[in-house]
Amino acid sequence: MFCYDLLDIFFLNYCPVNKITYLLKLADEYQAQGVLDLCVEYLKQIPKSKENAVKILFLATDTVIAKEDERLNSVRQQCKELIKNMDVSDILEKSDFKNLDRGSLESVFVERTGVLETFLREVRPQLIGLLEYCIYLKLGESDIFRCPQHFGTSSYNKKAKIGLLQRIKSCSVCLEMITQLVSSSIESKKSHVYGGDCHFDKKIVSVIQGFERIISVPPTLPPTFTFGAAPSFPASGFAFSASKRSKV
């Protein structure tokens, strides 16, 4: 069981997180197990949040001695869970993001991309289905022209012969039907016939086409992605002295 003395307790409660970078490098260079143990306990106990998740993940993966320590597996996983639910802009603005190793970056973004792709795959048929139903409902009215190639001529048969994606790719008349549908939903420049704060417009076609492009792209980092160098170990940045030994 890990035994704490007064120095340990002070370290775990008052040591700034930025100093852990230097201590982990010290432990890695001198194989100082005592220093490593303190750093591991610190990283396990410090509350994780979206504000510090990138920093802590960096600390838990930057040095060989930390990266290979299985006691930090749970720390790394907690950080990744937080990061994958952060806005990309918030992730990128973290100073330690560019210094993460490639494995950590890929792990974070593959998980994040997987969550997003799953969501998009669920939203896509719902959105297309809603648009199809809107067209179906409006075909009985005179304000939408019926495409004779992809819809039956009978007023009782309002079902499309092929799917919406195929129609908007190849048929200008079906595209015009969507334009007419949008126009029929607008009472004036500032008002729609239906309520709510969100409304669809002519961009609905490009949105649906965008779904197809996004979910067909594999979740990998671009080959031109570059990684920043890890922070250099300072000559003096933390009041600590040690000789090359296995225990501190």
pLDDT tens-digit series, residues 17-29:
778 888 899 999 9
d(CA 58, CA 15): 17
- Contact between 22 and 239 under an 8 Å Cβ cutoff? The reply is no
Pick from 183, 104, 191: which is nearest to 142 by CA? 183
DSSP code of 160? Answer: B
User: Quick one: tokens of 4?
Assistant: 């704490």
pLDDT band for position 14 (cuts 50, 70, 90): low
Which three-class secondary structure state does DSSP give residue 186? strand
Instruction: Tell me which long-range contacts 87-91 makes (C-beta under 8 A, separation of at least 24).
Output: 90/50, 91/54
Sign of CA dihedral 191, 197, 201, 203: positive
Q: What is the pLDDT of residue 216?
A: 65
Task: Read off the pLDDT of residues 58-88 as tens digits, 9 standing for 90 and up.
Answer: 999 999 999 999 999 999 999 999 998 888 8
d(CA 238, CA 242): 12
Residue at token pair 């007419």: 180
Task: Read off the pLDDT of residues 108-130 as tens digits, 9 standing for 90 and up.
Answer: 888 788 888 888 889 999 999 99
Task: Read off the pLDDT of residues 42-61 as tens digits, 9 standing for 90 and up.
Answer: 999 999 999 999 999 999 99
Range 229-247 average pLDDT: 39
Degrees, nearest 5: CA angle 23-106-228: 50
Q: What is the pLDDT of residue 10?
A: 47
Helix, strand and coil content of the chain, in percent to the nearest 5, comes to 55, 5, 40
Instruction: Kindly tell me if the per-residue pLDDT of 159 is higher than 70.
Output: yes
- Contact between 242 and 199 under an 8 Å Cβ cutoff? The reply is no
Neighbour-count burial for 41-79, b at 16+ CB within 10 Å, e otherwise: bbbeebebeeebbbbbbbbbbbbebbbebeebeebbebb
Pick from 2-6, 220-224, 240-244: least confident: 240-244
DSSP code of 228? Answer: P
**Rounded to two decimals, what is the model's pTM?**
0.60
pLDDT band for position 242 (cuts 50, 70, 90): very low
User: Helices 172-184 and 204-215 sit at what angle, rounded to 10 degrees?
Assistant: 120
- Say which residues have a Cβ less than 8 Å from residue 109's Cβ, sequence separation at least 6: 219, 221
Q: What is the pLDDT of residue 129?
A: 94
Task: Read off the pLDDT of residues 182-237 as tens digits, 9 standing for 90 and up.
Answer: 998 988 777 888 888 889 998 999 999 888 887 765 544 444 444 444 334 344 34
Residue 21: count of CB within 10 angstroms of its CB: 23
Backbone angles phi, psi at 186, to 5 degrees: -110, 125
Answer with the residue of higher pLDDT: 30 or 188: 30
Residue type at 84? K
